[in-house]
Amino acid sequence: MDIAGKPVVMEEFGIISDYVSEENAAFYYRRVLHNTRLAGATGWLAWNNTDYDDLYDVEPYLHHPFEMHFGLIDKDGRPKSQAVEVRRFGQLLGRNRRRRLSRPDASVALVVSSFLERSTPSPSLRTPGGGLREHARLLSPPGRPTRTSGWYAS
């Protein structure tokens, strides 16, 4: 799958290990990787490669302590369960490299915080109509309603 001739890359997905079991973290990664592949993604950039406990007092992490444990590898160099899922997924892709995968057309779910329903702070998402609502409208299939607060599923 591509958009405007460019491959689709799923990026900055991850889960903090402070609030979830290893088993559930692996499940999350398995779901994200396989579902985004079926949706057409051809690249993945997880957030983050390693935990960085030793940077708790260094900018920019000083004011983002919740980001310390999103790593695939813990502070001691041990692969977490989500790293194992990434490795398995890579192996699966390697075995199926020559196969063309397909999927039926699907509805889209767009999840946007209601906080962002105001004018979008990101210049890349600004549109002539303004804000994420207009951006979501432009991305939605023709004739389908758009909802930018909470889940939209048709």
State whether 89 and 125 are in the same domain.
no
State whether 30 and 82 are in the same domain.
yes
Which residue range(s) make up the domain with 72?
A: 2-95
| pLDDT classification of 153: cutoffs 50, 70, 90 | very low
- Percent of the chain predicted with pLDDT > 90: 29
| pLDDT classification of 66: cutoffs 50, 70, 90 | confident
Total count of residues recorded for the chain? 154
State whether 129 and 71 are in the same domain.
no
State whether 19 and 58 are in the same domain.
yes
Counting the structural domains of the chain, the total is 2
The rounded Cα 150 to chain-centroid distance in angstroms is 17
Q: CB–CB of 51/71 below 8 Å? A: yes
Q: What Rg do the C-alpha atoms of the chain give, in angstroms?
A: 18
State whether 81 and 134 are in the same domain.
no
State whether 68 and 113 are in the same domain.
no
CA distances from 140 to 27, 84, 132, 136 (A): 29, 35, 12, 6
Of 57, 73, 95, which residue is a domain's last?
Answer: 95
Per-residue pLDDT reduced to its tens digit, 101-151: 666 665 665 666 665 555 545 554 444 444 555 545 555 555 555 444 443
Question: Which tops the pLDDT comparison, 72 or 112?
Answer: 72
What is the average pLDDT value for the chain, to the nearest integer?
75
DSSP 141: P
State whether 74 and 135 are in the same domain.
no
State whether 68 and 26 are in the same domain.
yes
